[in-house]
Each structure stands twice: as structure tokens, then as C-alpha cells.
Structure 1
Amino acid sequence: MGDTVATTLLAAERAIRNVDDFFAGVFAPLTEWRPVLEAQLEAETASGPITGQRLVELVSAGSHRILDTTERPLYGAGYCASSGIVSEGNPLAWWQGPERSLLASSTFGPGQAAIDLFRLEWYRVPETTGERHVAGPFVDYLCSNEITITSTLPIFVRGEFAGVVCADVLVADLEERLLPQTEEWAGAVLVNVNGRVVVSSDPDLATGDRIADLDALASDGRRLARSTEFPFAIAFPAGE
């Protein structure tokens, strides 16, 4: 029994490392882009905010570089500016899909729509904490209409919060990347810090389901392996 439990623990640790490695790879190009973009924005806004159209021109190359060079299956990438950066037009410069299509500015527009954009978790949390954030899974009605994970990194200009750089991964693509690495034990479930199921090989739990008490899973014959880098844990069978 001890050998079985030990083997299962090692498998879970490998699975968590795979999750950490995946999201480290998502954040790596965003982290590399951040100082370049911050310098560009500081120069562009020296005399005041810019337009949404100018924002698109400014961040197009950086966004495409992230989408075209990363080994991660990113669905979309771009930058969402604060009101201090963009005063007119769409604050979100975003490219997505196989064609790297620019999200139409008419999707949002000025005023209330832009304010609602700023209230979304992937923007609001980094604005509050000043730290990177992983939001989801959620149905992204804004961009893909798919179940999505959005990774965001705050941008600062002249010491002030200036928005976030972002990258999207569809949960379907995350499943394709991670599940083959976890099939060595049935019933594995990847959950976020709020207990929301992200990826599941348990037929009784689907993406988006909520587990109210992660620690209570232990009483259901499971163990938890928690990431120390990202807001995820894997619930896995305890073994015999």
C-alpha cells in the first residue's frame, strides 16, 4: 500500500510541475514584453493620453510576437490600457484566432462599455494587487465565446498602473496538452484556487463545476497537490 501511495504522490507532483511549467511558459513572453511596452507607453503619453487606434499601431508587433513565437497554444494576446493611457476609442488592442484577427473596436466603444471592461477579473485583480493573475475558467463572451483561461500581467507607466498585458488559452487546448500527462491515474481534477474545475478526467466533474471546499475532497478518497507558483491544485485518487 505504501508503495502505491508513494507512486501516486510522485505522479501528482509531476502533474503539478507540468501545470506550473505550462503557465510559466504563458507568462514568459508577457514578462519579456512588459519593460519594452512600458517604455513605449511612457514616450507616447508624455504629452497626454493616446487614441485606441494609436494603441493598436503601438502594440501590434509585440502582440503578434507573443502569438507567433511561444510554444504554448495561445488563442489570443494583447494589451488592455487604463483610462490614463487611452482617452478615446477602444482601450483593448487584442489579436486572436488562427488568423490573428484584430478584435473590432466596435465591440466595445467608449463610455460604459469600457468601464465594464475594467471591472472584469483579469483586469481588476492585477490593478488591485499589482501582481500577475490567472482568471478562469470562464466563458469568454468578449472574445472567443469559448471556455478560457486568461493570464494577465500589470503594466506601470511613471509609477502608475497603466493596464494589463494578457494572453488567452482555451480550456480545450489546455486539456489536450495536460490530460495525456495525467492519464496514469483516473479521476484527476485540476481546480483553481476558488475550487472551480479547470480540467477533469473524472466523469462526475466537468469544467466549470464548483467544489466548495477543496480540503473536503480528502474525505472523498482524494488528496490535493497544490501549486506554489500559480493558483491551482490537483485533486487525485489517494491510492490503495
Structure 2
Amino acid sequence: MTGKDAARMTTGVTELTALLAGIEQRIDHWAAATTAWLNVAGGGGGGKVTGSAIDKFIRPTVKEMLHEPGSVVAGAGFVAGAGLLGPDRSYIAWWQGEDLERVDALANFSPQSMSRYVKTEWFKVPLETGLPHVTGPYIDLLCTDEYVLTFTNPVRRLGDIVGVVGMDITAQTLERTSLAALRHIGPGAALVNAGGRSIVCASPAVDAGDVVSPAPEAAVYAVGRQFRIFSATA
């Protein structure tokens, strides 16, 4: 590898690291702000929290995410677990697109609404682990009907996890924002999730969701909390 090639690879890794760090930091700050709100203005001390209060707090942040120049976010919101609004209720405050289309609002009026979310990876894992999680790429049948990554962080009230904030980012958007960086790394470079599934690959032979492994000669870089870059795929 020439010095020029090494510099290009370093540039590509740096750009992808910055992209993912920006996404993760954004949702970390949002989770912290939502936790703070729930423990003070949102009914701190164990008082009643209402769906309308949640909407009023969550929607402006989602609107900002969706409308800011260069945004990579396709949809975002908050999903409450059982206990926050009632013992047998979940609640979803989630919007998508430039028109801020409300997602699945009717589920908030159904006693069976919890079943739509409690078994999903993006909801269940943060509640069980208490840690941020990334789900995907997967086909998002509840919202975008596209291949997406869903970033979710747990939100707490009085120390207990009571829901998640989350952001959907389509694989198409990630391809648009990261393909140039991957090409700097190599013609077969790929950004993969923790399970080894491709999110974006510089090779047109690899699609989002394909299981890939690093070529024997490949360099492997850890980026973000749950991703890796292979400089070449087998």
C-alpha cells in the first residue's frame, strides 16, 4: 500500500467515524433530555404523565431533526413502555418525513397496542439491557417500508426504564452519505453491523442486509458502538 492509499483509507475511516458519532451523540443527548423532562416538567415524583404532554415535548425535537439541512433522519420519536401512562398501555409519539406524518397514532387507543412494539428488537433490547442499541438493516413495515437502521436509547423515570427514544435512518440515506468514504477505503469496503450484515458496501455486488466477512488481507476497524468497517469483503 502506498502512502497515498494509506492516507485515503485514513480519511475514509475518519469520515465514517464522524458520521456515526454524530448520530449516536444526537440520540444520547435526546435520551438525556427526555429523561430529565420526565423527572421534572413531565411529572417528576411519580405523578401522571399524559400522551398530550409527551407529544408536546417530543414533536419539536423530531421536527428539528427532520427539517434541518442535510438531515439523515427519516423518522423519530418516543415509545413508552407499560407503566408510564398506565399499567397495560404503551404509547407511541413518532413522526416521519418532511410533512411530519404521525406514525401509527391509532395504536395509542387500542388496549392491544403494546403487542406491536414490545417484541421488536429496537424496543426490547434497550429496555432489557439499559443500553443504546442499533437494529438493522431491516425492512421497516411499521413506518417507512424501506431498509432502515433504527437507533434507540432507553429513557428513565425515577431510575426505572420507561421507554425509548429512537431515530430511523434508511440504508439508502446511509449509502448516499457514506459511499464516498467507503470508496476511499477500498473498492470492496463495507460498513457492517454487529452481526456481520452489510449496511453499505462500495461493491455493487453486495446489498444491504447481505452477510459478509472480511477478506483475508482486509483491515477491520471498529466504528461507533456497534459497527465495523472491512477494507475488503470475502
TM norm structure 1: 0.82
The reply to whether residue 42 of structure 1 matches residue 39 of structure 2 is yes
Match of 2:65 in 1: 66
The reply to whether residue 78 of structure 1 matches residue 77 of structure 2 is yes
Moved more, 201-210 or 12-21: 12-21
Match of 2:221 in 1: 226
Q: Secondary structure at the residue paired with 1:86?
A: coil
Q: Secondary structure at the residue paired with 1:183?
A: helix
What letter is aligned with 1:226? Y
Moved more, 6-15 or 110-119: 6-15
Please point out which of 209, 226, 230 is paired with 1:235. Answer: 230
Q: Would you say the 8 A contact 2:223–2:229 is kept in 1?
A: no
Structure-to-structure mapping, 1:82-97, within 5 angstroms: 82-87=81-86, 91-97=91-97
What letter is aligned with 2:76? A
Query: Identity rate of aligned residues, in percent?
Result: 26
Structure-to-structure mapping, 1:153-192, within 5 angstroms: 153-184=153-184, 185-192=186-193
What letter is aligned with 1:68? H
Moved more, 183-192 or 130-139: 183-192
CA distance in 2, matches of 1:102, 1:116: 16
Match of 2:54 in 1: 55
- How far is 1:93 from its partner? 0.5
How many residues are paired up?
229
CA distance in 1, matches of 2:125, 2:4: 37
CA distance in 1, matches of 2:199, 2:101: 26
Q: Secondary structure at the residue paired with 2:183?
A: coil
CA distance in 1, matches of 2:55, 2:193: 32
- How far is 1:54 from its partner? 3.9
What letter is aligned with 2:80? A
Q: Secondary structure at the residue paired with 1:167?
A: strand
Q: Secondary structure at the residue paired with 2:117?
A: helix
Residue deviations 1:142-174 (CA, integer Å, cap 9, x gap): 110011111111111100011111111111111
- How far is 1:94 from its partner? 0.7
Match of 1:194 in 2: 195
Match of 2:13 in 1: 16
Question: Cα gap change, 1:101/1:15 in structure 2, threshold over 3 Å: closer, same or farther?
Answer: same
CA distance in 2, matches of 1:40, 1:155: 10
TM norm structure 2: 0.84
The reply to whether residue 114 of structure 1 matches residue 114 of structure 2 is yes
Moved more, 164-173 or 84-93: 84-93
Match of 2:204 in 1: 203
Aligned-pair Cα RMSD in Å: 2.6
CA distance in 2, matches of 1:231, 1:174: 15
What letter is aligned with 1:129? T
- How far is 1:90 from its partner? 5.5
Q: Which runs of 5+ in 1 are unaligned?
A: none
CA distance in 2, matches of 1:12, 1:59: 39
Q: Would you say the 8 A contact 1:149–1:170 is kept in 2?
A: yes
Residue deviations 1:47-77 (CA, integer Å, cap 9, x gap): 5553434422332223223333475411111
Question: Cα gap change, 1:12/1:128 in structure 2, threshold over 3 Å: closer, same or farther?
Answer: farther
What letter is aligned with 1:59? I
Moved more, 78-87 or 25-34: 25-34
